[in-house]
Structure 1
């Protein structure tokens, strides 16, 4: 079997761990890195070493069972392999290599017999407690084969409720024997590049309670499933996705997923919803239509975050806020696979997940563990050139090759010359009431004119922003979003003169909130009188501080 270098290295590291008697190990490979192929290679190489060895490959969904089985027989047609799964309708209990679902075999160890090696796919789904299906299953197998070996494969070797899978009391794995880095595999061409963007529409979960370390599902859905938020979010999704082929939206609940689906349909794009309640045949039909291009968008509740293999996905909408780094990485990972004609994938971060957990290409088992208890810290910053979210310590944006650290750290002297009242800049705590605003045309030397908007607060305080309607690229994109979210028409004006004539069409925000994004940029949250909010991120030099 022709393994990629990192795939070969992962198996070599596992064998070395076995030779050192280092205990049960984990192989960490990102989504799209070929875990099924690595499992097939592992099975074949183990049987080549020990001809009478029995191997059982366990996972949690019929899709993954079938996928792992197909991968082995595609590369080794005469493999002594079978399937034990009620969902698939096969019970090949005596097969030397058995692919199965934990739900079908956890209490049938006497029927399927003894095994020498257990391979657990999506190992992050194993609960830590021994009193679970996985715990009882492994304990029963060890009664017949005390020397049983267990290896886990996952893209996310950590759990929200208990931390890393190889640490702490009750852990099932002793160590991570190999971990491939997403960023390295992207640079080597094995995974698709990801471009993450903070959307103008932001989901506010500040008042949502938590349970078990994450948001309470019912309260979360109630907070984000609001008609105006959904319409604004979908409008942005459509704007970004017109030239993209396959969109996947992760939602906070079934009602939310249906609302997003209906909003996407209202924009003229075919869309369906999949949830854990979807009947098997309907779910298969929807996934098939999406894979074959008859659907532009799928909205999902939980079920597509693992085991979903559609390489053409090139847009992910993160509409499900979560404190779980694992869930975030699994959702974004749906876009990592390469496909013909796919240049990159766009991640629309409505939920603030990239800022909380960091860009997915820098997330590791170590960094994920370090986030626990520090979720409020910012781990990404917007590129001043294209708006992509990049790591805080990044010296270059790989989307546009702007070097953020070379950008001016503050305003020009010329911009501040006529300032008489204090400017709101840096980080202003809480919401600040806005009493009025003023607009004027601002001439820029050697560049197109811009719209200068000043927000007036109490005590003579004011905040100024530059709206670059006459620019091209990202500045124009950001200006259009600002215009639309304050009530302007979808076709934003092309010139500052037109904008000044249409000022009456827009609604002055009721309040603003300013948050620092490091040294060079800040986010301004706008709140309208009806409670709607949106966020605008810009360089500090655009505030005229």
Structure 2
């Protein structure tokens, strides 16, 4: 064992991290699933709910019994972070190997990776990548327990090819109500009150107009709305490409704010320094492209600004909830300039994770059917939208991109759950009675005559 880790381990061996009630519930769920004969189990728990601590407890109990644990992560920055948590919880690191998936995969090929009893997988929605599957297949007798906030695949194919069971954690709303995550205010463009969205013959928003409004458009002036909604708050900005991140950082600095820009090509030491300065408060705004999605723990980040449209529910949740790590009296601010809430709802909107886990026959998005890819240089597993590998700096071949349209005169406003409900209300065709049509008209804010016309059109009035 590394001498530094050994000292920390010996110092902490007499105590363990105290788990919260909902974390113990997850562990109980894992053991109950194992007792039913399941060996490959996925655990869902929201971003910021302390999955690393929960995993450390699984590892501690395993190593206490002399079992070997293999912990698989997909980013180099996470390795030491996980090790520190495991050591603090008295995991026997002589029986636990924490490593990047590509490193472990190479060790497996060379026959130098000891056989584990349990394989723990961080960000397990990546686990259908070939590098993960190679490890699982090689250690076919091992229990595989994968943790993720989002058991979701854009292809809608689910995870049952790898996992047998899904353990569901608490909802984001429960964690907020119980002071485990920070409450938030969400600001974005409200296209429902504009002329951009048009209605079809049934009174519902036209899918074509929604698609057109959401493609390649950034609404509202970034600096203006930061001053209006989040002045002085520590903020991470997510942009759609490197050039945009540079421009946005320059604008903040010209306005007198302390901002730094980083991207996948920024040297690792420089990226770490930027994050350290941000954590210390020496800079207030960190503008990035292709970084700081999964696994970044910055509890005092108070605000995120979204300048990147995404069809990925996983990416949306990881980015928006980066500001929602709990601190007393903290209220997170999310400023969405690209209308991502039209695609995904709000961070606390509920999702049918069980159905996502099982998969559906519904055809997935053709423009991003595979949400991850492997770098051909270092074999890191990264989001498919990356153009530069954050691990080794490899530049992926550039695809032709359309320019983003800027509508800086657009005004952003607070988005609450009632707007999400209004957007997702069922159509007239989905109503099974005249009463449901009149309720739908009320929910949509339409006059009762709309329900009468729809009922007559659908043949409900005889």
1:324 matched to 2:340 = no
1:74 matched to 2:64 = no
Tell me by how many angstroms 1:295 deviates. 1.1
Match of 1:96 in 2: 95
1:41 matched to 2:57 = yes
CA contact (8 A) 2:156 2:363 kept: no
Match of 1:472 in 2: none
Tell me by how many angstroms 1:387 deviates. 3.1
1:114 matched to 2:115 = yes
Q: Structure 2 CA distance, aligned partners of 1:253 and 1:371?
A: 33
How does the TM-score come out when normalised to structure 2? 0.68
1:335-365, CA deviations, whole angstroms, 9 ceiling, x for partnerless residues? 121125x521011121111222111212332
Tell me by how many angstroms 1:366 deviates. 5.0
CA contact (8 A) 1:271 1:296 kept: yes
1:41-67, CA deviations, whole angstroms, 9 ceiling, x for partnerless residues? 11111233x32x110111011222111
1:189-245, CA deviations, whole angstroms, 9 ceiling, x for partnerless residues? 11111211224799xx99xxxxxxxxxxxxx9x9458xxx68x22321232121x42
From 441, 444, 460, give the equivalent of 1:519: 444
What secondary structure, in the 3-state scheme, does the structure 2 residue paired with 1:298 have? strand
From 276, 279, 282, give the equivalent of 2:264: 276
Q: Structure 2 CA distance, aligned partners of 1:148 and 1:15?
A: 15
Q: 1:148 to 1:367 in 2, by over 3 A?
A: closer
Tell me by how many angstroms 1:180 deviates. 2.1
Match of 2:151 in 1: 157
CA contact (8 A) 1:59 1:122 kept: yes
Q: 1:193 to 1:107 in 2, by over 3 A?
A: same
Q: 1:303 to 1:38 in 2, by over 3 A?
A: same
Matched residues, number: 343
| Greater fraction strand | 1
What secondary structure, in the 3-state scheme, does the structure 2 residue paired with 1:268 have? coil
Q: 1:200 to 1:299 in 2, by over 3 A?
A: farther
1:362-381, CA deviations, whole angstroms, 9 ceiling, x for partnerless residues? 23325867897799xxxxxx
What secondary structure, in the 3-state scheme, does the structure 1 residue paired with 2:162 have? coil
Q: Structure 2 CA distance, aligned partners of 1:223 and 1:358?
A: 19
Q: 1:199 to 1:112 in 2, by over 3 A?
A: same
1:429-483, CA deviations, whole angstroms, 9 ceiling, x for partnerless residues? xxxxxxxxxxxxxxxxxxxxxxxxxxxxxxxxxxxxxxxxxxxxxxxxxxxxxxx
Q: Structure 1 CA distance, aligned partners of 2:300 and 2:166?
A: 31
From 66, 79, 98, give the equivalent of 1:65: 79
Q: 1:367 to 1:117 in 2, by over 3 A?
A: closer
Match of 1:123 in 2: 124
Tell me by how many angstroms 1:162 deviates. 4.4
Match of 2:425 in 1: none
Q: Structure 1 CA distance, aligned partners of 2:286 and 2:95?
A: 38
What secondary structure, in the 3-state scheme, does the structure 2 residue paired with 1:106 have? helix
Tell me by how many angstroms 1:289 deviates. 0.4
Runs of 5+ consecutive residues of structure 1 not aligned to the other structure: 82-94, 207-219, 376-385, 396-515, 522-545
| CA root-mean-square deviation | 3.2
From 285, 308, 325, give the equivalent of 1:297: 285
Tell me by how many angstroms 1:15 deviates. 0.4
What secondary structure, in the 3-state scheme, does the structure 1 residue paired with 2:240 have? coil
In our comparison, the structure showing a higher alpha carbon Rg is 1
Q: 1:174 to 1:367 in 2, by over 3 A?
A: closer
1:352 matched to 2:353 = no
Match of 2:275 in 1: 287
CA contact (8 A) 2:155 2:363 kept: no
CA contact (8 A) 2:43 2:148 kept: yes
Runs of 5+ consecutive residues of structure 2 not aligned to the other structure: 1-15, 198-212, 366-412, 423-440, 447-462
Tell me by how many angstroms 1:35 deviates. 0.9
The residue correspondences of 1:204-219 to structure 2 (distance < 5 A) are: none
Q: Structure 1 CA distance, aligned partners of 2:178 and 2:338?
A: 30
Q: Indicate the structure whose relative CO is greater, using CA pairs within 8 Å and at least 6 residues apart.
A: 2
What secondary structure, in the 3-state scheme, does the structure 2 residue paired with 1:351 have? coil
What secondary structure, in the 3-state scheme, does the structure 1 residue paired with 2:444 have? coil
Q: Structure 1 CA distance, aligned partners of 2:287 and 2:54?
A: 30
Match of 2:386 in 1: none
Q: Structure 2 CA distance, aligned partners of 1:273 and 1:289?
A: 12
Q: Structure 2 CA distance, aligned partners of 1:56 and 1:517?
A: 55
From 43, 48, 56, give the equivalent of 2:70: 56
CA contact (8 A) 1:14 1:178 kept: no
1:260-302, CA deviations, whole angstroms, 9 ceiling, x for partnerless residues? 1111112211111221111011001000001111111111222
Tell me by how many angstroms 1:331 deviates. 0.7
The residue correspondences of 1:449-528 to structure 2 (distance < 5 A) are: 519-520=444-445
CA contact (8 A) 1:55 1:118 kept: yes
1:194 matched to 2:195 = no
Match of 1:180 in 2: 170
| Greater fraction helix | 2
Match of 1:469 in 2: none
Q: 1:134 to 1:391 in 2, by over 3 A?
A: farther
What secondary structure, in the 3-state scheme, does the structure 1 residue paired with 2:83 have? helix
1:371-417, CA deviations, whole angstroms, 9 ceiling, x for partnerless residues? 97799xxxxxxxxxx8332155879xxxxxxxxxxxxxxxxxxxxxx
1:165-192, CA deviations, whole angstroms, 9 ceiling, x for partnerless residues? 3x4xxx2212212322111011011111
